[in-house]
Amino acid sequence: MSSDHVATWTLSLPDGKHKVEFEHGTTSGKRVIIVDGKEIHREDWMFKLVGKEHFKVGSAKCTVSIDACSGFAYEYTLEVNGKPLEKFRDNQNKIQKCWCFTMGSQNSTPFRVVLEKDTLNVWVNGKVVETTGEFTDEGTETHFALGQTLHSAFIQAVSSGKRRDGIIHKLFVDDQEIPPAHE
């Protein structure tokens, strides 16, 4: 890791978790953005030591802001889709539901299933999958295939009965409920 490494953030998007790293040379003005271990932007010499760098992570529009604090100290902040990272995370927790689990005993396969509540897209390990909706007595079920072995999976949406809590989403794989992830 570079001695100019000044910040690391983790973004949880429907297509997966992403690690964003930022390097800033406070004498040269160097700016380097690394996403998931790959360098995506580099400026080696800049006369202006403060400012903003814009880039994308998946479909998310990101901005790193470099602000002077006092003397030669700097503050680095990340905005995602125009929101400070904390507000973006809060919003993501409202509009998506995530489950992380493994299947199989010997060659266990890790899965990350994400439901985008606003679009009703279902993502499995970073890819949108084809779904089929079905109405039930309790609410709705969104069915989809999971993995190469095609485990049967569905997301059940039922009313909580409380206006404040809204709809409760549960994931079932081979008729077993999977507990939600805490991202």
For residue range 67-77, list pLDDT tens digits in order: 988 877 899 99
For residue range 40-95, list pLDDT tens digits in order: 999 887 777 889 999 999 889 999 999 988 877 899 999 999 999 999 999 988 89
**Res. 2 pLDDT band, cuts 50 70 90:** low
Top-level class of domain 94-178: mainly beta
Number of alpha carbons in the 13 Å side-chain half-sphere of residue 160: 9
DSSP 8-class letter at 163: T
Strands of the sheet with 176-178, listed across from one edge: 132-135, 139-146, 151-159, 167-173, 176-178
Q: DSSP letters along 29-89, please? A: --EEEEETTEEEEEE---S--SEEEEEEETTEEEEEEEEE-STT-EEEEEEETTEEHHHHH
Sole residue written with tokens 């509540």? 117
- Distances in Å between the alpha carbon of 63 and those of 51, 75, 173? 10, 13, 38
User: What is the arithmetic mean of pLDDT over 156-173?
Assistant: 88
Q: Which fold has domain 5-81?
A: Lipocalin (2.40.128)
Task: Please tell me the chain's helix, strand, coil percentages from 3-state DSSP, rounded to the nearest 5.
Answer: 5, 60, 35
Residues of the chain with CATH 2.40.128.180: 5-81, 94-178
- Using an 8 Å Cβ cutoff, are 15 and 58 in contact? yes
**Res. 105 pLDDT band, cuts 50 70 90:** low
In this prediction the pTM is 0.79
Provide the 3-class DSSP secondary structure of residue 90.
helix
Q: For the chain, state the CA radius of gyration.
A: 21
Sole residue written with tokens 């802001």? 65
Tokens of 138: 């309790």
